[in-house]
């Protein structure tokens, strides 16, 4: 038996152009042995809206649409040298998921948003075990406030990464399309990490704080394990605001190469996740 789901490949249409807009959509066919998806011929926005009322949970980027036009066989995973180049250039929009993973991620995001109200609610409740506070204003007595409408988590130290109880390291449930031997972790924080006002990229001070945390947490651990060049086995990045699918929860991404499961478990306190999180 098989079932099909479809998603529009565009996220916005110019006002007044609905009748002319063309949206692609993805058919996802599940089979016991494998899954294949195809891009249909483009059809009108009106037809999409009539037949697919539930849109993806977040806007698709040009890179997403490019990936959705591929098969898994056509997709080239990010190897370590490619990842180093992308991060060095801060070209984070070039990071891609495998086509079938992206389709599953879109479906999961839509369903999770429907069940929990938001991805943030799901992560706080099911992954972090953090109570999600009410959105805060621009100031409060504890000095923990951030921008309007963003939740403010209580923390023990206002300096990011200074107190282990203010952050949690987990495996990324939806990693990018990575070559074998590369693991994708996320570090979730209660403490806000300052970013530039325009563009949402890290400030120099924030970048230095993250670099120091990565060195003492990941690189130093691999050095104790006997890696000859431990720094070459660890990369990190923080998506600027426009690229974040979970904007209201502070987090950074850490990629590690050729690290045994025992150390990954030591960092995350969780085994590999083979099933879709729920």
* pLDDT (tens digit per residue) in 212-250: 999 999 999 999 999 999 999 999 999 866 555 555 789
Same domain, 82 and 131: no
Residues 112-119: contacts with CB within 8 Å, 24+ apart? 112/57, 112/278, 113/57, 114/54, 118/248, 119/57, 119/245, 119/246
| Residue 13 domain flag | no
Same domain, 250 and 125: yes
| Residue 149 domain flag | yes
Same domain, 129 and 260: yes
Same domain, 35 and 124: no
| Residue 4 domain flag | no
Q: Last residue of a domain, which of 58, 73, 103?
A: 103
Same domain, 51 and 95: yes
Could you tell me the CATH number of the domain that includes residue 139? Answer: 3.30.428
In this prediction, residue 133 carries a pLDDT of 73
| Residue 89 domain flag | yes
Displacement of CA 149 from its chain's centroid (Å): 21
| Residue 249 domain flag | yes
Count how many domains the chain has: 2
Same domain, 70 and 180: no
Is pLDDT at 38 greater than 60 in this prediction?
Answer: no
| Residue 40 domain flag | yes
Same domain, 79 and 135: no
| Residue 6 domain flag | no
Same domain, 60 and 161: no
Same domain, 185 and 140: yes
Question: Cβ-count burial of 207 within 10 angstroms (0-12 exposed, 13-18 middle, 19+ buried)?
Answer: middle
Q: What does the alpha-carbon distance between residue 2 and residue 6 come to, in Å, rounded to a whole number? A: 13
In this prediction, residue 150 carries a pLDDT of 57
* pLDDT (tens digit per residue) in 79-128: 999 999 999 999 998 999 999 999 999 999 999 999 999 888 999 999 99
Same domain, 126 and 263: yes
Same domain, 142 and 249: yes
pTM for the predicted model, two decimal places: 0.75
Same domain, 125 and 224: yes
Q: Last residue of a domain, which of 103, 130, 159?
A: 103
Range of the domain at 41: 22-103
Is pLDDT at 75 greater than 90 in this prediction?
Answer: yes
> 184: closest CA among 103, 54, 87?
87
Please, what is the average pLDDT of the chain? 78
Q: Last residue of a domain, which of 103, 134, 166?
A: 103
Tally of CB atoms within 10 A around 183: 20
| Range list of H helices, 162-271 | 204-214, 220-225, 261-268
* pLDDT (tens digit per residue) in 168-205: 999 999 999 999 999 999 999 999 898 888 777 899 99
| Residue 15 domain flag | no
């Amino acid at each position: 038996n098989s079932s099909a789901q479809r998603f529009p490949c565009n996220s916005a249409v110019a006002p007044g152009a609905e009748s002319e807009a063309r949206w692609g959509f993805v058919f996802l066919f599940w089979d016991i042995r494998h899954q294949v998806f195809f891009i249909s011929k483009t059809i009108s926005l009106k037809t999409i809206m009539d037949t697919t009322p539930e849109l993806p949970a977040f806007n698709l980027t040009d890179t997403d649409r490019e990936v959705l036009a591929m098969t898994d066989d056509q997709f080239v995973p990010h190897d370590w040298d490619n990842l180093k180049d992308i991060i060095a250039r801060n070209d984070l929009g070039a990071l891609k998921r495998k086509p079938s993973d992206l389709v599953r991620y879109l479906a999961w995001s839509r369903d999770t948003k429907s069940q929990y109200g938001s991805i943030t609610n799901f992560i706080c409740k099911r992954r972090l075990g953090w109570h999600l506070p009410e959105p805060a204003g621009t100031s409060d007595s504890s000095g923990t406030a951030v921008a309007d409408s963003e939740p403010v988590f209580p923390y023990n130290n206002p300096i990011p990464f200074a107190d282990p109880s203010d952050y949690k390291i987990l495996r990324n449930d939806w990693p990018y399309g990575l070559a074998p031997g590369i693991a994708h972790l996320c570090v979730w924080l209660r403490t806000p990490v300052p970013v530039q006002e325009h563009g949402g990229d890290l400030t120099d001070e924030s970048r230095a704080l993250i670099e120091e945390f990565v060195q003492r947490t990941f690189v130093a651990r691999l050095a104790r394990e006997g890696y000859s060049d431990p720094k070459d086995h660890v990369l990190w990045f923080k998506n600027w605001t426009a690229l974040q699918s979970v904007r209201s929860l502070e987090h950074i991404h850490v990629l590690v190469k050729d690290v045994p499961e025992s150390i990954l478990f030591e960092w995350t306190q969780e085994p590999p996740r083979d099933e879709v999180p729920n």
